[in-house]
Amino acid sequence: MDRPTIDHRGPEFAALAKECLEDIKAVFQTEHPVLIFPSSGTGAWEAALVNTLNPGDRVLAFETGQFAILWAKLAENLGLKVDMVPGDWRHGIDPAAAAAKLSADSGHEIKAVLAVHNETSTGITSDIEDLRAAMDNTDHPALLLVDAVSSLATAAYRHQKWGVDVTVSGSQKGLMLPPGLGFNAVGPKALEAAKTSTFPKGYWRWDDMLAFNEKGFFPYTPATNLLYALKESLAMLREEGLYWNVVDRHARLAEATRRAVLGWGLEIWAANPGEYSNSTTAVLLPEGVNEAAFRTLVLDKFNLSLGAGLGKVAGKVFRIGHLGDFNDLMLAGTLAGVEMGLELAGVPHRKGGICAALDYLTETRKQ
Ligand code: PLP
């Protein structure tokens, strides 16, 4: 990234952009276009909604955690009517609840289903393939819009095979980049819906972006230096072995983390092992422990930034991130910092969670 910024209307840039736009498709597992906005993930959320829907449309969402709530709020701010399926934040999306809602909607008023694949706030991954199957069984025409901000390049994800209409993501997680790129992977049904969408929009217009992208350009100034970085990130993922080696590395580091948590005698927040996240583990602290004080201590003593509990779980859980450019020794350092922090903060726990994680990392290296 740390190179001079080139003219984004010149041939060198066009070659870079075309390469990125083509190669990013493998990460989403799609042959259809992926749009890249100079934005955060929130911008890409908005782009997905304003290009496919009309003001006043009903959308179905699921309260899996803080990011599901934030996406729903954004939809409401845009004038959409959100039908939120309540949740306890410890489980992923229930496909049966989606099917029930869609079956009851005989007038097809629900125009889209919003699903967060990996809830970064709770460390819970929902099964998008099952959700799609449940939607298909109802023969309901709603679009499926999926947030893969923290699952892209960390968990198995198949935009095209799973029949996702728009996948939203960002640069700052599995792609190992700084924040600043927002993605929309779009399918044919979403592109069709975009032709009649009446939302007022300018910056987020897919049609303008796609027309410019054809020639390797953007309708406005792109995040040129982040595209240098994206090119390298895509090369790194390919070298490691996109797809499964990258996903397996995350799965293995996540399992080691969970073994540490159980070794400490603490509780993994996610209730269903089938929904454990490859990228984040939320840990429930014992009643009466000051979560913020614990994290502050770990930051002060070890310069290790743990994730705060967000929204409803603020003060209850802390989160260990294990995604992106991350390996065995980085995880070992992280878990050592947590274990020392638990002791120093006087959090009731058993010693040796780190040993359980190291044993697992060692054993799985032998295989
Ligand atoms: N969705 C998920 C699952 C996230 O984890 C985040 C951010 O962490 C977002 C959306 C919002 O992305 P951003 O903060 O880049 O706007």
CA nearest ligand 1 atom 12, residue: 41
For 79-134, the pLDDT digits (tens) are 999 999 999 999 999 999 999 999 999 999 999 999 999 999 999 999 999 999 99
Q: Which atom of ligand 1 is nearest to the CA of 148?
A: 3
Alpha carbon of 187 to ligand 1 centroid (Å): 22
- The pLDDT score that the predictor gives to residue 282 is 98
Percent of the chain with pLDDT over 90: 99
Domain ranges within the chain, ordered by starting residue: 11-240, 244-366
Alpha carbon of 342 to ligand 1 centroid (Å): 28
Percent of the chain with pLDDT over 70: 100
74: pLDDT strictly greater than 90: yes
Alpha carbon of 322 to ligand 1 centroid (Å): 16
- The pLDDT score that the predictor gives to residue 81 is 98
Q: Which of 67, 166, 319 for mutating ligand 1's site (highest number of atoms within 8 Å of CB)? A: 67
Alpha carbon of 48 to ligand 1 centroid (Å): 14
- The mean per-residue pLDDT over the stretch 290-306 comes to 98
Q: Which atom of ligand 1 is nearest to the CA of 117?
A: 3
Residue 286: CB atoms within 10 A of its CB come to 11
Q: What is the pTM of this model?
A: 0.98
**Topology at the third CATH level for domain 11-240:** Aspartate Aminotransferase; domain 2 (3.40.640)
Q: Which atom of ligand 1 is nearest to the CA of 182?
A: 15
Q: Which atom of ligand 1 is nearest to the CA of 120?
A: 5
Q: Which amino acid is at 121?
A: S
Is there a contact between 61 and 85 (Cβ–Cβ < 8 Å)?
A: yes
List the beta strands (DSSP E) in the chain: 34-37, 58-62, 81-85, 110-116, 118-119, 124-125, 143-147, 166-170, 182-186, 267-268, 280-284, 317-321
Q: Which of 330, 14, 324, 15 lies closest to 169 in space, CA to CA? A: 324
For 251-286, the pLDDT digits (tens) are 999 999 999 999 999 999 999 999 999 999 999 999
Alpha carbon of 107 to ligand 1 centroid (Å): 33
- The mean per-residue pLDDT over the stretch 230-234 comes to 98
Looking up tokens 């400490």, which residue turns up?
264
CA distances from 253 to 197, 337, 350 (A): 42, 16, 21
Q: Look up the CATH number of domain 244-366.
A: 3.90.1150.10
Ligand 1 binding pocket, CB closer than 6 Å: 40-42, 67, 116, 120, 147, 149-150, 170, 179
Tell me how far the alpha carbon of residue 129 is from its chain's centroid.
16
367: pLDDT strictly greater than 90: no
349: pLDDT strictly greater than 90: yes
Sign of CA dihedral 269, 274, 277, 278: positive
- What's the chain's length in residues? 367
Q: Which atom of ligand 1 is nearest to the CA of 43?
A: 16
Residue 94, CB-side half-sphere exposure with 13 Å CA sphere: 13
Reading the block at residue 171, the tokens are: 């640069």
Alpha carbon of 311 to ligand 1 centroid (Å): 14
